[in-house]
Amino acid sequence: MSYIRKTLSLSRANLSYLEWNPGVRGSSDTNLLLLHGLADQALVWKKLGEKLSDHHHIIAPDMRGHGESSKPEQGYTFTEVIEDLEALMDQLNWSKAHILGHSWTGKMAAIWARQNPDRFNSMILVDPIFIMKLPGLFKLTLPLLYRQLDCLKLIGPFASFEQAENQAKQLAQFVGWSDLQQELFEAGMEQKPDGTWGSKFGIPARNEIFEQVMEVPGLTENINIPTLLIQPEKGVNRMDWQLKPYQQYLTQLKIERVAGNHWSFLVEPDCFNQTVEAFLKDQMMVK
């Protein structure tokens, strides 16, 4: 089933989102909220949405600062992002949902689950980044990190669309260059007023999100929500010490390894989608 795009107008921003199968009704067990990572967009969940839409009402927003949503100069704290998502759920008349977050929204989901667990049927964390608070000295390395991270290498500027496309084909999230990856690349780029090309992702969003990721710990107390941690073979959570916070604080944790890198849902989508589908089926059987 294909998606439709809608927009929710909030007081501080417009939130663009994709929706699959709004006709699914019944208990909140069918509600599924998909949250993308840094500099990505809702369209990364296209294949997952198609796979699960027969049994789920699915919403995937462009997070503020990303894609077709508003890009204010400030307002990217975890608190403000969670307020966006709760307003979206209220608009949909969703009291709760299965909530999936990738990368920085994986960390955000853990914070949200601690603050308001009643919003969650279950939680799926896809290779979250920096789940704990980072030392203040780490901030000094941000200019280098901004240049090194594949997710930020399309910010630009690029002299031409072709130059940007050549760069994209070298990045981890575009390994294989499938039709969906090409579609994602094209949807995420725009020509700037000076004629150069660059990502729709904004610099203010990048800066404030990184500050939040560094300064706010994701796990600080027990969370009693059924949780799946998806651990890609070439992801960022490969070491035992990185898994310890999840094992310590998530009392109903299941860890599943999948093929691929940090963007396993793009580079190995079949394995990823089957893993999510199996977990959600298990949750609905428990209910």
Q: Is residue 185 part of a domain?
A: no
Using one digit for the tens of pLDDT, what is the confidence trace for 191-229? Answer: 999 999 999 998 999 999 988 998 899 999 999 999 999
Question: What's the domain count of the chain?
Answer: 1
Q: Which domain holds residue 67?
A: 4-132+202-286
Q: Is residue 141 part of a domain?
A: no
Confidence of residue 287 (pLDDT cuts 50, 70, 90): low
The per-residue pLDDT for 146 is 67
Q: Is residue 140 part of a domain?
A: no
Q: What is the DSSP string of the chain?
A: ---EEEEEE-SS-EEEEEEE-TT--SSGGGEEEEE--TT--GGGGHHHHHHHTTT-EEEEE--TTSTTS---SS--SHHHHHHHHHHHHHHTT-S-EEEEEETHHHHHHHHHHHH-GGGEEEEEEES-S--SPPPGGGGGGHHHHHHH-GGGTTSS-BSSHHHHHHHHTTSGGGTT--HHHHHHHHHHEEE-TTS-EEESS-HHHHHHHHHHHHHS-S--S-B-S-EEEEEEEESS--SHHHHHHHHHHBTTEEEEEEEEETTHHHHSHHHHHHHHHHHHHHHHHH-
Q: Is residue 20 part of a domain?
A: yes
Model confidence at 140: pLDDT above 60: no
Q: Is residue 196 part of a domain?
A: no
Q: Is residue 70 part of a domain?
A: yes
C-alpha to C-alpha distance for 77 and 121, rounded to whole angstroms: 24
Q: Is residue 15 part of a domain?
A: yes
Q: Who wins on pLDDT, 21 or 38?
A: 38
Q: Is residue 188 part of a domain?
A: no
Minimum mean pLDDT range among 197-201, 239-243, 283-287: 283-287
Using one digit for the tens of pLDDT, what is the confidence trace for 254-271? Answer: 999 999 999 999 999 999
The per-residue pLDDT for 286 is 74
| Predicted TM-score (pTM) of this structure | 0.96
